[in-house]
A and B are shown apart, each in its own frame.
Chain A
């Protein structure tokens, strides 16, 4: 007699733990930290789901994945069906399952979270995607329209737009400025958090469906947006991200050993500077100070640790509660021995100077960073308490490397060479509700529009843009 699925319920208040590499061990390697659920673990965790009728979790998901539906399939052991359900809403589940801030999205709405921990939706999503054998083979595809669409940038927004446009029957070409596809998934997020093989699998999956990828082409330089229309593309999607790094404009930021997080992470992730035989150098060891409290700051700090730093300090101007990073990343960082200096802001970076010998190669190398203590004042317009410097509280920390992870703004390159494309005062491309820019036939989404945000919101925007493009092309026939 078949046992009914419904009866099985796991009352545990806690998430089924996911196996992880031991902190002491993983702080020395670049292999993935979180190892993923086994089938048994996934089913056990799926059985914690109440399968609520009103599905609050779905409203917390930026792309509205039918969460209870896919979890129900995992309960049944039909992992492939679970994958198909996710794939209907999300183009890159193996990536989102790893990097989404679930505690602020789907899992924040989970009824199980009222008493105890929410269902581990992210882990289950990752499980379903990783278990799925042939990426994308199941995707529903509309009849080819014969029309071509160009996508600028192969990060999360571009990949999602390309996937959706492809399934709507368009011939899609994705242009990437760097030599490898993936955008921030490749140059920004480290291997130990998002293995590059996962990104490659998603890109190869799209390629096998007919999406064309062209690397080493910088739209706005190698080809202009208008060239793309001349080449026969009926619409263009811009997903160029927020790649322009910010510095603090404090004295000493030009010293050797001061990096933007973008540079530091690009050297390590894209160029593989963490490998022993790498041709691309990066400064290793010593004391490292990372300024900022977001995911990028956590990534940079954990990379520094793995590169052999004796001490790594996160310097953040607010307190632990305001840390914008994903909770899991903060926990992982702490477990790996990263120190946190809260309510602290740098005011100057100091460098070595040998007055006797101007040719001393150590001249200009960072030696320390002068900081000031902060206290939290009234909330600002975004509701976050404003940090205020405490006079006379200056102190100095040793530092051989300083990494600025205080945010990025949209890359101005495409705007500066595309007539008719408007941007707002923060550099974000202006779009209407449908994602169309001020230039006809040109659509945009992701960080290039919103400023630095999450992978999933960029994906959501890419997907929305694909439908807007579909409508635009149909109505212009």
Chain B
């Protein structure tokens, strides 16, 4: 059992937790992920590490309530325990040798992008950040990004905060104005990463993306997290859990990844609604 030592609601659907897991905290690096199971009956889901405190032995996770498992997790409070917490899995984000980096975060993906931006800053890189959200109320970690970025652009789809538009707008502006970064790291919804990677490739800018597909074990055993990379015109399969989660954005077949990510969307929607109804009933009775 792994104790939740702190919980903070970042926006209506995004929650941050610090979880006591000393062994994981000791070895975790930015870009790696953990597998969590809130209850003994829950699904195993991967969540990327959003931070860690080696001394306190805690690992930070930030997640959005999108399905039954994250909904269940969101109902736990400080002092409660999660049933299983294993990691750190996958390869750490490669920050070495990257001196001029644009970090792009979309939605809850900002939670994963932040520790990478922090690490880059620590290593002396010049860090520019662009973070994008649907609307003002969903903005998370803005101050934290500001603290580690030389420049920060905040984008909202509806223009309710910062600039209206998607994360590609400031990226394109940098390129047009001759301020193109030496490297782009993009983490967020697949469709966002697809277009950032496309723009990066068209302009010859190296691009790293972090993939978060459906997986079970996280150790290379199930193959459910396989994605396709296109290398020199050849299609190659890779497992996000052991070969990633970071991949060369120029190579990832995003359309296929988007198709695969919806494999259980009906099931998830059903389970989520079931969960919501249950909570509604409990609130009514209680």
In this complex, what residue of B is CB-closest to A249?
A: B237
Interface residues of A in 220-279 (CB under 8 A from B): 221-223, 243-245, 247, 249, 253-254, 256-257, 259-260, 262-263, 266-267, 270-272, 277-279
Q: Is A361 engaged at the interface, CB distance under 8 Å to the other chain?
A: yes
Beta-carbon contacts under 8 Å, A40-98 to B: none
Q: How far does the alpha carbon of A452 sit from the alpha carbon of B132 in the complex, in Å?
A: 47
Does any Cβ of B come within 8 Å of A281's Cβ?
yes
Q: Are A217 and B23 in contact (CB under 8 A)?
A: yes
Q: Mark A16-51, 1 if CB is under 8 A from B, else 0.
A: 000000000000000000000000000000000000
If A179-B37, A221-B88 touch, whether A279 touches B223 (CB-CB below 8 Å) is: no
Q: Is the CB of A363 within 8 A of B259?
A: yes
User: Cα distance A253–B263 when bound, in Å?
Assistant: 14
Q: 8 Å CB contacts to A: which residues of B251-286?
A: 256, 259-260, 262-268, 271
Q: Tell me how many residues of A have a C-beta within 8 Å of chain B.
A: 40
A423 smallest CB distance to B (angstroms): 14
Chain A residues whose CB sits within 8 angstroms of the CB of B88 once the complex forms: 221-222
Question: In the complex, are the beta carbons of A222 and B24 less than 8 A apart?
Answer: yes
Interchain CA distance A271-B224 in the complex, whole Å: 14
A364 at the interface (CB under 8 A from B): yes
Q: Please, which residues of chain A bring their CB within 8 A of the CB of B263?
A: 256-257
Complex Cα spacing A277 to B264, Å: 15
Nearest Cβ in chain B — how far from A7, in angstroms? 54
Give me 17 other A-B pairs in contact (C-beta within 8 A), A243-B221, A254-B237 excluded.
A179-B84, A221-B219, A222-B23, A222-B86, A243-B220, A245-B223, A254-B260, A263-B224, A277-B41, A278-B41, A280-B43, A280-B216, A281-B264, A361-B266, A364-B262, A411-B220, A413-B242
The answer to whether residues A215 and B259 also contact, given A279-B68, A361-B266 and a CB cut-off of 8 A, is no
Separation in Å of the A213 CB from the closest CB of chain B? 14
In the assembled complex, which residues on chain B have CB atoms less than 8 Å from the CB atom of A198? none
Tell me whether A218 is interfacial, beta carbon within 8 Å: yes
Closest CB in chain B relative to A363 CB, distance in Å:
6
Judging by beta carbons under 8 Å apart, are A215 and B84 in contact?
A: yes
Contact A254 B256 (CB under 8 A): yes
Chain A contacts for B106, CB-based, 8 A: none
Interface size on B, residues (CB 8 A): 40
Q: Are B237 and A221 in contact (CB under 8 A)?
A: no
Can you give 25 A-B contacts (C-beta < 8 A)? A177-B86, A177-B217, A178-B217, A179-B44, A179-B84, A215-B84, A216-B84, A216-B86, A221-B219, A222-B24, A223-B23, A223-B27, A245-B221, A259-B224, A263-B223, A263-B224, A266-B216, A267-B216, A279-B42, A279-B271, A280-B43, A281-B43, A281-B264, A364-B259, A412-B220
Query: Bound complex: CA of A100 vs CA of B242, how far in Å?
Result: 32
- Closest B residue to A177 by beta carbon equals B219
How many CB-defined contacts (below 8 Å) exist between A and B?
113
Residue B89 at the chain A interface, CB threshold 8 Å = yes
Given contacts A256-B259, A279-B68, A280-B43, contact A262 B221 (CB under 8 A): yes
How would residues 262 to 305 of chain A score, 1 for a CB under 8 Å from any chain B CB and 0 otherwise?
11001100111000011111000000000000000000000000
Q: How far is the CB of B76 from chain A (nearest CB, A)?
A: 15
Looking at chain A's contact residues, the main secondary structure is loop
Q: Which residue of B lies closest to A217 (CB)?
A: B23
- Which B residues are CB-close (under 8 A) to A412? 220, 242
Q: Is B133's beta carbon under 8 Å from chain A?
A: no
Point out the residues of chain A lying under 8 angstroms from B216, CB to CB.
263, 266-267, 270-271, 280
- Contacts from A to B (Cβ < 8 Å): 177-179, 187, 215-218, 221-223, 243-245, 247, 249, 253-254, 256-257, 259-260, 262-263, 266-267, 270-272, 277-281, 361, 363-364, 411-413
CB contacts (< 8 Å) of A179 on chain B: these are 37, 44, 83-84, 86
Given the interface pairs A218-B89, A256-B263, A363-B259, the reply to whether A411 lies near B219 with Cβ below 8 Å is yes
**Closest CB-CB distance, B261 to chain A, in whole Å?**
10
Q: Which residue of B lies closest to A257 (CB)?
A: B263
B205-218 to A contact mask, C-beta < 8 Å, 1/0: 00000000000110
- Across the interface, A281 reaches (CB within 8 A) one of B84, B86, B256, B268, namely B268
Least Cβ–Cβ distance between B256 and chain A, in angstroms: 5
Q: What residues of chain B lie closer than 8 Å to A277, measured between beta carbons?
A: 41
At the interface, yes or no: B105 with Cβ under 8 Å from chain A?
Answer: no
Binary per-residue interface labels of chain B (174-189) against chain A in the complex, 1 for a CB within 8 Å, 0 otherwise:
0000000000000000
Contacts of A278 in B (CB 8 A): 41
B51 at the interface (CB under 8 A from A): no
The 5 closest A-B pairs by CB, nearest first: A263-B222, A364-B259, A216-B86, A281-B267, A260-B223
Contact A364 B260, CB 8 Å, known A222-B86, A262-B223 = yes
Our pick among B42, B221, B226, B262 for the contact of A266 (Cβ within 8 Å) is B221
